[in-house]
Structures are given as structure tokens and as C-alpha cells.
């Protein structure tokens, strides 16, 4: 299986990653993260490329990859919305806000908008309980959500 190669820049980054650990195997999550962030998914081809770097079987890469929720087999949108639905957010009305968000995006929870801009996922506690309800879009945390605030945030993203 071919079709995936690391860019020169990524190769450099991979070297830096390997340098952090006395054993190569620890680089598994960082490499998967590198791919996920670049490709918005981890394709089988990428898993093969990672397995070669890691000197392990591609099945092993997939085994690890499929354990963690931040890696996706299917491509996700440009903006990955993780909407917390755990207890503190639930107590603060996240369910309705999630429904609102889905409606605003015109998709169901778990789906990606046709233009691949947004993916909306239900997420377990993200550790911003004191500002519940909250969501995380890509690397940014947004707390104290209201319908109005969600609208503003989504509109501000291009």
C-alpha cells in the first residue's frame, strides 16, 4: 500500500519526536497525532507509513489508533467541534445547546457538513466544568455557552 509519504517538514518533526524518548515505540501517539492534524484523518496508507517508521505491524498501528477517540478513520471537517455532554454540562443545559448547534449546522451529531467545514461530535468531559456548558473547536476551548455565543463563534470561523 503506498500513496502516503511524510513531507520533509514532517520528517523533521518526526525526528524531533523520536528524540524525546529512549524507545521508539513512545512516538506512536505523536505520529498518529501528526497525521491526524495534517490529513484530518488517519488513512490506512498513513498507518502503513507510520508502521514503517515505528518498525511494527500496520495492524498494531490500527489497534492503537482505534483505541483513542481523537483519531478518525473518516475525514473530519476543517473545524472539529467537540461538544461536552458530561455531567456538569448536562446540569447546565448542554443537551439543548447541542441540539441547537446541530440544527444550526444542518447536520446530525456525529456528522460532517457537506462542505467539510464542520464536524460535530458529542464529547465526554473536557475539563472546563466550571465554565459549563462548553465545547472545544479544534484546539480552542469555549465555555459559558449560550445559543447566542455559539452562533457568534460559529459565524466567526471561516
Cβ proximity of 128 and 143 under 8 Å: yes
Minimal distance, residue 68 CB to other proteins, in Å: 4
Nearer to other proteins, 36 or 112 (CB): 36
The minimum distance between CB 132 and other proteins, in angstroms, equals: 6
Q: Minimum Å distance from CB 60 to other proteins?
A: 4
Query: Shortest distance, CB of residue 114 to other proteins, whole angstroms?
Result: 25
DSSP-assigned letters across all residues of 17-79: HHHT-SSGGGGHHHHHHHHHHHHSS--HHHHHHHHHHHTS-HHHHHHHHTTSTT--SSPPPSE
By C-beta, is 24 or 103 nearer to other proteins?
Answer: 24
Q: Strands 79-84 and 135-137, how do they pair?
A: antiparallel
Q: With respect to other proteins, which residue has the nearer C-beta, 85 or 105?
A: 85
* Binding-site ranges for other proteins (CB under 8 A): 1, 20-23, 25-30, 32-33, 44, 47, 54, 56-64, 66-71, 82, 85-88, 90-92, 124-132, 136, 139-141
- Separation between Cα atoms, residue 86 and residue 125, nearest integer Å: 5
Amino acid at each position: 500500500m503506498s500513496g502516503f509519504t511524510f513531507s520533509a517538514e514532517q520528517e523533521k518533526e518526526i525526528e524531533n519526536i523520536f528524540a524525546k524518548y529512549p524507545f521508539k515505540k513512545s512516538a506512536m501517539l505523536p505520529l498518529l497525532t501528526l497525521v491526524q492534524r495534517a490529513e484530518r484523518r488517519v488513512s490506512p496508507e498513513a498507518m502503513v507509513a507510520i508502521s514503517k517508521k515505528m518498525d511494527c505491524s500496520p495492524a498494531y498501528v490500527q489497534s492503537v489508533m482505534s483505541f483513542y477517540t481523537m483519531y478518525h478513520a473518516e475525514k473530519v471537517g476543517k473545524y472539529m467541534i467537540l461538544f461536552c455532554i458530561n455531567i456538569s454540562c448536562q446540569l447546565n443545559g448542554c443537551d439543548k445547546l447541542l441540539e441547537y448547534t446541530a440544527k444550526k449546522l444542518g447536520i446530525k451529531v456525529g456528522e460532517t457538513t457537506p462542505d467539510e467545514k464542520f464536524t460535530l461530535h458529542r464529547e465526554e468531559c473536557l475539563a472546563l466544568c466550571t465554565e459549563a456548558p462548553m465545547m472545544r473547536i479544534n484546539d480552542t476551548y469555549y465555555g459559558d455557552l449560550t445559543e447566542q455565543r455559539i452562533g457568534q463563534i460559529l459565524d466567526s470561523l471561516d
